[in-house]
Amino acid sequence: MNKITPMMKQYLEIKNAHEDLIIFFRLGDFYEMFFDDAEKVSHELELTLTGKSAGLEERIPMCGIPYHAASGYIDKLLEKGYKIGICEQLEDPKAAKGIVKRDIIQIVSSGTVMNDDMLNKTDYNFIASITDFKNCYGISYADATTGEIYAFLMEHDTSKVVSEIVNLGIKEVIMTENTNKNIYEILKNQFHLTATITDITTDKYESVYKDLTDERYIISVKHLIAYIADNQKRDLSHLQKVIIRQTKDHMRMDVHTKRNLELTETLRLKERQYSLLWLLDKTKTAMGARLLKSYLLNPLVDKNEIEYRLNTVATLINEFILKSDLEKYLTDVYDLERLSGKIAFGSANGKDLLQLKNSIKILPKIKEILTKINYPKNLETLDELYNLLEKSIYENPPVSTKEGYLIKEGYNVELDELKVLRKGGKDFVAKFETEERERTGIKNLKVGYNRVFGYYIEISKGNVKEVKEDWGYQRRQTLANCERYISPILKEKEALILNAEEKIVEIEYNLFTEIRDEVKKYIPRLQTIAKIISEVDVLASFATISEENNYVKPEITEDEICIKESRHPVVEKVINAEFVTNDIIMDKKTNILLITGPNMAGKSTYMRQMAIIAIMMQIGCFVPASSAKLPIFDAIYTRIGASDDLVSGESTFMVEMMEAGNAITSATDKSLILFDELGRGTSTFDGMALAQAIIEYIHQNIKAKTFFSTHYHELTDLNETLKHLKNIHVSAYEEDGKITFLHKIKEGPASKSYGIHVAKLAKLPNEVINRASEILKVYETKEESRDTKIQETLPIDELIPKKNKLEEELDKIDPLETTPMDALNILYKLKKISKEN
């Protein structure tokens, strides 16, 4: 076997140290991939797979991409779950002795990407850490681009942890070695998240977690920070203090509820358009758009905070001229959160600092408006930072920081002198061209420049015969239409010009990095400004939407719901007819609304609009109604729709029961429950029995506000035994065998079902419709003759077996928290109870 080449040996050493990465190995103007990496990348990106001599018996697989176009290729690989190691040349190949030094300068993964081209401007890019403790999981998550970090604890429940990770929109997850491997497998294989198992940790960036007292939070956050730092290999000084997320701080909604209510995307097409987010988003900044989504997925439960937002929205509606000016100014504010991240990382260029300067420039005008509307938070204007950027950075800087043209005249004396010298040289070149045309008589003579020959004189083929030896021209290049020459005078000036140019670029780069480092000191203040701007942007968006659509300010009650002429905010915008409004009334004595009526009549829409109105109020927005009074809900649980969970292989009925089970085991008397046609996934009598049992359990035990739609008309008799249940129905009008849906909610149960009429609307064949009508008459005759009715039973709480004292004491025991002495005392106590029983 031949000896492997030194460069390939260098590659293999780097690859062996990072086996989980696709290595982008820099060779000149290309990133090259070799061996298995080349085969994977060529397949995923549809690139040509070639071979390269590496000293082995056979050529090794190889593919490559231009380094300047790498972002697009990296983005595609990230979407497919790969992680990329950027291996750069660490020295100038011309100055290198032997093999050019190379190493990984950055690891790019879906949760740590910083490139603007690979990020969704209006969405967070969260990466999460799962740390397994003895009795719970510690979960922390962050957006590396904005510096925000959150942490919370969760019980040892795989399905709940997976649900929460998906619910948060996490892009990448890392977990400790001792974490349940099922979590890793589900997130990686079913939800296609980038997932890594590692016990990495760090003691750096203590300021992020120094205020925490619970060691579990600290360990979890250090695990996350260490991974981000190891990937980025850059400064993370923009990381903010950890925010501890408590379940009680926000309305609880699981991933099914958010999907069923179409909060951020539609059920069918999974698109943003026609979701509630699509409707509410009139924000003017990327920061505001991200915050709006966060508001929508995490509604408030604190009355004071909700009223603070509602009152601010009301003020903005009343001060419509000031609001209009505010929105105009917000349009000129760039993404201060992500700009701060780039400044901390050292990747901000001249255009980024120019965007920062232009954003700061508008702050005094925004502050003036906020003062006029008595906005309580103080917005800094950072005049000193604006002045620094104004006097230093060019108005139209290049993307690269190593090409010059970054720093304004007057900022640095040495730089100004060099620019004068450069300008003098370029003026000389222009003057030289004019003089040479006059001296030689060749009117189309040109003086040009390229990196190979420097400055040259170009003469067309037709005039080459005019060139005289005493002009001192020396031929350097022959092209199809011209000849290129150099001259001693031009070469002398070229040296002065290029030396000045090289020195200018070097000084400008050094000055730029100094300015960027100075700007870095302002990051905490910039992040505070960004939070204020984001909040104001979202509340102004709520004001605009509320004003445009005639929404009203809701009133918060303790228990009562009284919403007059309620509407579904999205449906009313997309239908081609006038939306039929409905009242939603639940007094203190009513906890359950049992809804009957034909399919397609509007039961599901009615239920959804109740939930959406509650969410809109709790994020601080006005609501679609003529008046609205409703309580604050601590959670919303839904079971709407009947699609199978094909990913996990669960049937429609199993999914129904799991979602219903989650609701009735987690809900409180402050929750909102929406059950749509529960029980239809099984046989008629099984479904009816389960539906009644669940209604009774909610009525007797949970007492949550519940909307329960059903096609089991027999259940409408429950109002005779359940005093907090009320029947309502969606009305329909029938004439000459034709049905008209009125979409109007009325009190009492529906008189009949209209399933066959719906089948007519769906264009089923007449033979099928007629036969179904005959069969229905037979069933109805049998039903009348039997005169059946759901039997009244004891209240369900009396049917549930009660635990004895011994069982109750056993439930209280936590083995992980029990000392040997505690165990002896508990055993004595249990023995005593046993004797008493």
Binding residues for ATP: 597-604
Give me 735's structure tokens: 């004439």
**Rg of the chain, C-alpha, whole Å:** 35
Please spell the DSSP secondary structure of 304-318, one letter per residue.
HHHHHHHHHHHHHHH
Distance CA 59, CA 2 (A): 12
Check residue 246 and report its DSSP letter: P
Give me 500's structure tokens: 């000045």
Place of tokens 């020959």: 453
The length of the chain in residues reads 837
Distance CA 714, CA 107 (A): 62
Q: How far is CA 240 from the centre of its chain?
A: 18
Please spell the DSSP secondary structure of 253-307, one letter per residue.
--HHHHHHTTSSS-TTT--STTSHHHHH---SSHHHHHHHHHHHHS-B--HHHHH
Residue 706 in contact with residue 740, Cβ under 8 Å?
no
Distance CA 640, CA 625 (A): 23
Residue 637: how many other CB atoms lie within 10 Å = 27
- What are the distances in angstroms from CA 446 to CA 191, 487, 772? 62, 13, 91
Residue 427: how many other CB atoms lie within 10 Å = 10
Distance CA 200, CA 10 (A): 26
Place of tokens 């979701």: 275
- What are the distances in angstroms from CA 708 to CA 602, 613, 704? 13, 17, 12
494 φ, ψ to 5°? -60, -45
Spell 734-772 as b/e; 16+ CB within 10 A means b: eeeeebebebbbeeebbeebbebbbbbeeeeeeeeeeee
563 phi-psi bin (left φ>0, alpha ψ -120 to 50, beta other): beta
Strand partners, 448: 456
Sequence-distant (≥ 6) Cβ neighbours of residue 35 within 8 angstroms:
15, 60, 61
Strand partners, 175: 130, 197
The alpha carbon torsion through 763, 765, 769, 770 (nearest 10 deg) reads 140
Place of tokens 């025991």: 813
Residue 89: how many other CB atoms lie within 10 Å = 16
Give me 372's structure tokens: 């006029």
Q: How far is CA 562 from the centre of its chain?
A: 35
Distance CA 711, CA 746 (A): 16
Give me 197's structure tokens: 């198992």
Q: What is the largest CA-CA distance in the chain?
A: 126
Q: SS3 of 213, please? A: coil
Residue 709 in contact with residue 607, Cβ under 8 Å?
yes
- Give burial (CB, 10 Å; 0-12/13-18/19+) of 143: buried
Distance CA 73, CA 33 (A): 13
In sign, the C-alpha dihedral spanning 373, 379, 380, 383 is negative
Binding-site residue set:
597-604
Closest C-alpha among 669, 699, 554, 570 to residue 614: 554
Place of tokens 């905010």: 569
